[in-house]
Amino acid sequence: MRILILGGDGYLGWPTAMRLAARGHDVMVIDNYLRRTLARETSSLPLIDTPDLAERTAIYRSVSGFEIKVRIGDCADPAVMARVFQEFQPEAAVHYAEQPSAPFSMMGFDQAKLTLTNNLGTTFNLIWSVLQHAPGCHIVKLGTLGEYGTPNIDIEEGWIDIEHRGRSDRFLFPRQGASLYHTTKIMDTDLLWFYVRTYGLRVTDLMQGPVYGLDTKEADADPRLIPNFHYDDIFGTVLNRFLVQAVAGIPLTVYGQGGQTRGFLNLEDTLQCVELALKTPAMPGQLRVLNQYTELFSVNELAARVKRVGGTMGMNVRIAQLPNPRKEREEHYYNVRNQGLIDLGLKPHYLTDDVLGRLLARVFRYRAAIDPTRIQPRVRWS
């Protein structure tokens, strides 16, 4: 399959590109290094400096023999996107090209505007490039479980049947993001749904929870192929941050009561899920929504596990309860259906003590690179 990956330099985009190339697909990545730029501007550099796409793909080719085509360009620019589509004629497009950080989107007007225009702009351009240059192309869009928020009812996979005054119909599940970033993902879904039902696009929207880990089969072949791994307060996700904090002897930064529960998954499972979605594409005129996580944990549960496993490895892990910089429920009901990807064949990699121990050991190798000034939260929601 010819597969275009938008945002192919990112934490998820780069390992996805390597995996799909290793499966024999014809893969092209496009990225404008926005996340690298924003990370520099906000003093949020990753744990390990990663080579740019030209270098990464050359290293990957030399160790594996697999080719990944690279285009450097801004997916929010319609001319750039149209050119890439005309040239490559993708049969599937995996869309990661968004500003991915909730805290960044809440920093102020400029960051909010960038998040809104970039995220909606890339999705809109993708839709039109498919309509005009590659009809039939399956869009696999990375959404987020955060689109649903934390309602006091079970969360379905995208759709809900509602009975009202004796009549019933099917609607997108109610959504209420807890940051502007999450809200842009909701708007993406609405935009896609409009074009699906009006023009018959085929779209899979993957509602993903926070991802952890830095190992994949392909990345492990050479240390320079590692995904970019953030542990700062803006681009780092909670478990990756806790791993680094444990290794650095910094008390784990639990925000508020710590009862916030999310659906987590290993980086390896993100790759599996995207591959499964590509293998069995959505039908024309179908917006298929799949909830993408393997295990539910509260922040407190994660912190306690990191403390316990770190302790068995000789680390003195402490837990701090910080005033919550975000506006979110800290104790809530959370039951999210995720049967769709299991039915497609997902074999989860669970967060066992052994897996957690290996993650801690892996981060420990890079302990000299940890900058303790990148840990405490700098962005308050209000």
Q: Which residues are catalytic?
A: 144, 181, 185
151: burial class by Cβ within 10 Å (0-12, 13-18, 19+)?
middle
Beta partners for 292?
208
Residue 170: CB atoms within 10 Å:
8
Taking the complex as a whole, the smallest distance from the CB of residue 141 to ligand USQ amounts, in Å, to: 12
Nearer to ligand USQ, 121 or 263 (CB): 263
Nearer to ligand USQ, 53 or 299 (CB): 299
Cβ neighbors of 44 (< 8 A, separation 6 or more) are: 38, 230, 232, 233, 234, 235, 236, 374
- The footprint of ligand USQ (CB under 6 A) covers 100-102, 144-146, 182, 208-210, 237-238, 241, 253-255, 260, 262, 299, 326, 328
For residue 255, give both structure tokens: 């925000």
Cβ 124 to ligand USQ shortest distance, Å: 19
Question: Which CB, 62 or 382, lies closer to ligand USQ?
Answer: 382
Indicate the residue among 29 and 303 with the shorter CB distance to ligand USQ: 303
382, burial (CB in 10 Å: exposed 0-12, middle 13-18, buried 19+): exposed
C-alpha separations of 361 from 61, 129, 245, 318, 357 in Å: 28, 44, 13, 18, 6
Comparing every residue's Cβ against ligand USQ, the nearest one is 146
Question: 362 burial class (0-12, 13-18, 19+ CB within 10 angstroms)?
Answer: middle
Query: Are 170 and 106 in contact, with CB atoms under 8 Å apart?
Result: no
Min CB(39)–ligand USQ separation in Å: 13
Residue closer to ligand USQ, measured from CB, 57 or 111: 111
**Nearest distance, CB of residue 146 and ligand USQ, angstroms:** 2
In terms of C-beta distances under 8 Å and separation of at least 24 residues, what long-range contacts does 340-343 make, across chains too?
A: 340/157, 340/288, 340/289, 340/290, 340/291, 341/273, 341/276, 341/277, 341/290, 341/291, 341/292
**Considering beta carbons, is residue 100 or 213 the nearer one to ligand USQ?**
100
Residues paired with residue 168 on neighbouring β-strands, in sequence order: 163
- Give the residue with the Cβ less far from ligand USQ, 90 or 340: 340
H helix and E strand count, the chain: 12, 14
CB of 356 to ligand USQ, least distance (A): 16
Map tokens 């594996």 to a residue. 64
What letter would DSSP give residue 324? P
Taking the complex as a whole, how short is the minimal distance between the CB of residue 136 and ligand USQ, in angstroms? 28
| Contact indicator for 176, 113 with CB cutoff of 8 Å | no
Provide the Cα torsion 16, 19, 21, 27; round to 10°.
-10
